[in-house]
Amino acid sequence: MEAKGTALVTGASRGIGRATAIALAERGFDVVATMRDPAAGEGLSEEGGGRVRVQRLDVNDPASIVLPVDLRVLVNNAGVEDDNLPLETMPSEIWRKLFETNVFGLVEVTKNAVPLMRARGGGVICNVTSSSILAPVPFLGAYRASKAAVGAIGESLQAEVAQFGIRVVEIMPGPIETDMLAASDRPAGAIADEPYRALAEMMWASRQNIRDAYTPAPEAARRIVDAILDDDGPLRYGCDDMSEGMLEGWRMVASDDAWLRPMFDAFSISS
Ligand SMILES: NC(=O)c1ccc[n+]([C@@H]2O[C@H](COP(=O)([O-])OP(=O)(O)OC[C@H]3O[C@@H](n4cnc5c(N)ncnc54)[C@H](OP(=O)(O)O)[C@@H]3O)[C@@H](O)[C@H]2O)c1
């Protein structure tokens, strides 16, 4: 697609969302940078060369989900993480909290976007999940499950809306330098749980090996915008060297695109 018209980003107060709002504006989009507290958007308009406007949107507050009628690109970026615990001790409130924002909130925003894009003949819906989906990382089951749910939702959505000229893109970030990455830079909470202590210590030691792969958010954002503009590209993308490498390795084994493409074709109705 051509980099013009209106794009909206959720969770644009900081991190990947904020950087993506700026990157979209730099390429030529008029950007609505949405966030729970608009005060956090101070400076964004200037950073985006005057093409960014800030709007309140909490993905868990349906009344706040007001999308522009000329929406061409939706970036579902808002997301939360929590303590990394073994399944047997992970409180159900944390499971619910992760799914509330990462899955149900994203679905609510997307439900509002589809009819708008359909009315205008198309657009791109870009869901930010996680490359951790591709690795069976211990203690990350709840977070990974919420992101994998979005992956499955995106696949079905692509099959539903391709006929309207809407493309779905899934971004699976690796370690991107944001508050979320900083907050996770400590041993998993599982370390306090005797049966899991040794595994948690091992995971913490192996975490030190990926520090070189930490990628600045503006670099991830640049690759996210490239993926959005890549009309004939695949469903899934990384946005840093580590996630791109993981995806490449996974494709060699699982060949996801070879698997999915004929089904997308079989389910498609030409527009
Ligand atoms: N950084 C990484 O290494 C990494 C890796 C894999 C995947 N991801 C994914 O990338 C996305 C962005 O992560 P990040 O690293 O930039 O995280 P971050 O720095 O923690 O920022 C998260 C953003 O989501 C917003 N948010 C949380 N709950 C929300 C809600 N109910 N409604 C609207 N916005 C909400 C936050 O808003 P507030 O400022 O109001 O809290 C913030 O803007 C997330 O989906 C995350 O899971 C990140």
15 ligand 1 Cβ < 6 A: yes
Report the CATH number at residue 13: 3.40.50.720
Residue 103 counted as domain residue: yes
Token pair, residue 236, equals: 């899934």
Q: How far is the CA of 15 from the centre of ligand 1 (A)?
A: 7
118-146 pLDDT, tens digit each? 999 999 999 999 999 999 999 999 999 99
199-230 pLDDT, tens digit each? 999 999 999 999 999 999 999 999 999 999 99
Residue 170 counted as domain residue: yes
Residue 187 counted as domain residue: no
Residue 239 counted as domain residue: yes
Question: How many domains is the chain partitioned into structurally?
Answer: 1
Residue 68 counted as domain residue: yes
Active site residues: 143
Residue 189 counted as domain residue: no
14 ligand 1 Cβ < 6 A: yes
- Please tell me the pTM assigned to this model: 0.96
What burial class does residue 148 get, using C-beta atoms within 10 Å of its C-beta: 0-12 exposed, 13-18 middle, 19+ buried?
middle
16 ligand 1 Cβ < 6 A: yes
Residue 148 counted as domain residue: yes
Residue 185 counted as domain residue: no
- CA 182, 183, 186, 187 torsion: positive or negative? negative
Pocket test for ligand 1, best of 36, 103, 107, 112 (most atoms within 8 A of CB): 36
**Domain around 262:** 6-180+215-266
Q: How far is the CA of 154 from the centre of ligand 1 (A)?
A: 18
